[in-house]
Structure 1
Amino acid sequence: MGAEHLEALGLKGRDFLGLADYTPDELRKLIDLGIELKRKNKANEVFHPLAGKTLGMIFEKSSTRTRVSFEVGMYQLGGHALFLSRNDLQIGRGEIISDTAGVLSRYLDGIMIRTFGHDILLELAEHASIPVINALTDHSHPCQALADYMTVLEHKGKLEGLKIAYIGDGNNMAHSLMIGGAKLGLHVAVASPEGYTPAEGVQADTRAIAAQTGGSLLVTGDAREAIEGADIVYTDVWASMGFEEEQKIREKAFAAYQVNEELARYAKPDYVFLHCLPAHRGEEVTAGVIDSKHSIIFDEAENRLHAQKAILAALL
């Protein structure tokens, strides 16, 4: 695989703001590219399509997996990653986003941003002339979802027709899993308590996509209904970053939505368990599930590196 293969993907110069912006075929090509880049890495094959390229990484939210995987990914592809916290940028001192986007576009080959408001991401992308990658907003987490479905493909050998059950907060993670699952032909079931269900607009978009791909969407308040016959079981923390002050309220609201051994019995016997991490054992998931033979959380975490390398290589 050389530069001509990456050019043939036809994604050079695109933004990666959400999975809804990509066709099912494009998403599958990115997943397949991630698997190939992972193979190259394991075989110690040098592949530097991004030699001389620089990625600016803007972090308004702290991170372990996102920073390390993007920084290592750029290094493995022959490029350079530049960490930029809010305190490193004039955005933190009042510079408007459009000016920051214009300036960074003259210095960098791509921008990755991990922030709170989705509107910040969209405004940055609107004014930047280089690719912008969504490394997480309060609305979506597309890089994680791409890595998740890459991991499922490795373990199950297929994606289309599988059932994924997401149990918990209808947050940014749920949104990206829903859209990505529908795009890739999965049956998505989400169980959340009242007041914490996924955004109505995302539900509508997911159903519209699923109608074209043969997938489906179920949103319910019943965790058992969602997990029944699931091939993939997924959960996330009950209080995401920025909602820590709601921890006690959410613990009460989500008490019936813990993924434990009793609930997991309703999934298929060979189900796989995923969690985007960090996890709070004893809250959203028991140690008996997350540390069981069903859990593939570290394969999933590793694939953040390779899936994001696919995005970087294809776009930059």
Structure 2
Amino acid sequence: MKNLFFSAAALLLFFSCQNDQTELTTDATTAITQRKCATQDVLEAQLKEDPTLAIRMNQIEAFTQNALLTKRLVNGKVVIPVIVNVLYRTAAENISDAQIQSQIDVLNKDFTATNSDFSNTPAEFAGVAANVGITFELVKINRKSTTKSSWGTRDAMKSTKKGGLNPTSPTTNLNLWVCTIGGGILGYAQFPGGSSATDGVAIDSKYFGLSGTANYPYNLGRTASHEVGHWMNLRHIWGDASCGSDLVSDTPVAKTANYGVPVYPYVSTCLPAHNEMTMNYMDYTDDRGMFMFTNGQKSRMNALFVSGGARSGFGI
């Protein structure tokens, strides 16, 4: 079992001294052969630009750990209002209302364990597989025609001044930006603690919702499930380090990101020997290969919404 209790100094180190990441490109034509989430890279850039972000994130982490210890979690149902901001240059990028609704439907299934593939959870992990109990409600779709062929990962899509769309009431709405990101990036999220001016999730329009067989293997809406997990304070399953910690006790330690659809059991090289949870939404597997959160991840997410939590403005 992972040791999840950190001193304030250790937490500050965790959020301010991650390994350097390679610079992201914004070539919209890059072929995507493996899942690429830019959330950690974006966090690294934000930490360098704003030294106070590490302090805020460590305060959120301390609050989360205290909530877990005292079992001060959500008592009731959390419904997340969703604003979808579509930025398009081509007709294909101007995705339909039906495709947008299909993504909301996927989120609702994945976060309530009503997805049909949840039953594929191996018996080994069945005891910790979770119904997170959070649902999503589409409240508005904003659309804007642009001349940009790709947006990159520096939050330009989130700014009206930069040609994008400002977030709508981000303390009470989950804003999703749908556009061509480029650089082989499927999507990225902002962790709790970041600026409200950029809070939310960006997802490439080709991988948003049930996007069709042309975008296989990322056509089942799981990019959003992964990125919204980050928005709700979940780390990558491998902790963005070799055999690292994702701050969750019931997810087995993972050596690194897993790709494709690994065949279970997938034995880790992290010691002691154990099977990795490659089917967790916070890994890098193909859409059809990820289909579960854990109880520990559920508790971590729910801690955000209690009174005093980083996303308590969403209420119950």
Q: Same fold (TM over 0.5)?
A: no
Q: 1 or 2, which has the higher helix percentage?
A: 1
TM-score, structure 1 normalization: 0.35
TM-score (norm 2): 0.35
CA radius of gyration, larger in? 1
